[in-house]
Amino acid sequence: MIHCYYTMIKLRKICVLLSVPLLVAFSSCSARIEGVVREGGAAEISLKTSLEMRTHALISSLRDFMGDESDAPILDGPSISRSMAAAPGIRSVSLGNTGPAALEGDILISDVNDFLATGTARFITFTEGQDVGSSSIVINLDRAAAPQIISRLSPEVEEYLAALLAPVVLGEVMPAQEYIALVTMVYGRPQAQEIAAAKISVSIEFPRPPTVVLGGTASGRRAEFEIPLVDLLVLETPLLYEVHW
């Protein structure tokens, strides 16, 4: 209980500095990611994401209440593209808005080993071999690496997550259930339920059919993953995904 009150106090301090209508935007969305990993370690990603209906309505009403007449999208595709384009391992980014709370586009990766890397810290390890099963990608996302990776995205993303007291950004250790309870107290149960239910669907094609898929399933030359959003926000335990082909 003391911990919850402490985190709520920090939330109020952050909310003074940031625009409340945007705080929930990045953490209650649905996303679909489709990609292709090429020989040599290059990759292509197609992204589609949008805010859930309840979140969109909440942000719109809060904007009106605060007298914000800006017609800028809640999720600004071009702004996110500019930020991501400067990150390591990225050849180009082209994200556009299909609505005020939806965007889609493509991300071209020059080397998946360097994707969103920070210095020598990498969360993706790519190895390539000629024999079946000798090539692999290992993704290991933990609490040490996640804040650095998030900082490579648009500054708004980091601010939204910090304002929502996402443990992965603030460096706090908090179980998923405790985090959802905190969001319920601050934003209400419907908003917390949207965050709890949100998932990121990922489908990646590889040069050969996968022989091993850890954390997902194989379908032809593709590996399929369903990642609960709350697991990313909390990272109570490291997320480990591995594909061999």
- Residues 55-84 have pLDDT tens digits of 666 566 655 655 665 666 667 788 888 888
Range picked from 37-46, 55-64, 121-130 for highest mean pLDDT: 37-46
Residue 197 structural domain: 2-244
Distance CA 118, CA 171 (A): 17
Beta strands in 52-142 (DSSP E): 90-99, 102-109, 124-127, 136-141
Is residue 120 packed enough to be buried (19+ CB in 10 Å), middle (13-18) or exposed (0-12)? exposed
What lies within 8 Å, CB to CB, of 170 at 6+ separation is: 10, 162
Give the residue ranges of DSSP H helices in the chain.
2-17, 20-23, 53-65, 77-85, 146-151, 155-163, 167-170, 176-187, 189-197, 229-234
Q: Among 57, 97, 49, which residue's Cα sits nearest to residue 201?
A: 49
Supply the pLDDT for residue 154: 62
User: How many CB atoms within 10 Å of residue 90?
Assistant: 19
In the chain, the amino acid numbered 7 is T
* 27 or 40: which leads in pLDDT: 40
Both tokens assigned to 222: 């593709």
Residue 69, CA distances (Å) to 52, 74, 94, 243 in order = 22, 12, 27, 47
pLDDT category of residue 18 using cuts at 50, 70 and 90: very low
In the chain, the amino acid numbered 41 is G
Q: What is the mean pLDDT of residues 177-193?
A: 88
**Whether the predicted pLDDT of 9 surpasses 80:** no
Q: How many separate domains does the chain show?
A: 1
pTM: 0.77
Supply the pLDDT for residue 224: 97
pLDDT category of residue 138 using cuts at 50, 70 and 90: very high
Task: Give residue 85's Cα distance to chain centre.
Answer: 16
Distance CA 95, CA 204 (A): 19
Range picked from 17-21, 56-60, 190-194 for highest mean pLDDT: 190-194
Supply the pLDDT for residue 13: 37
Q: What is the mean pLDDT of residues 127-155?
A: 84
Relative to beta strand 29-37, strand 199-205 is parallel
Mean pLDDT for the chain overall: 79
Supply the pLDDT for residue 25: 36
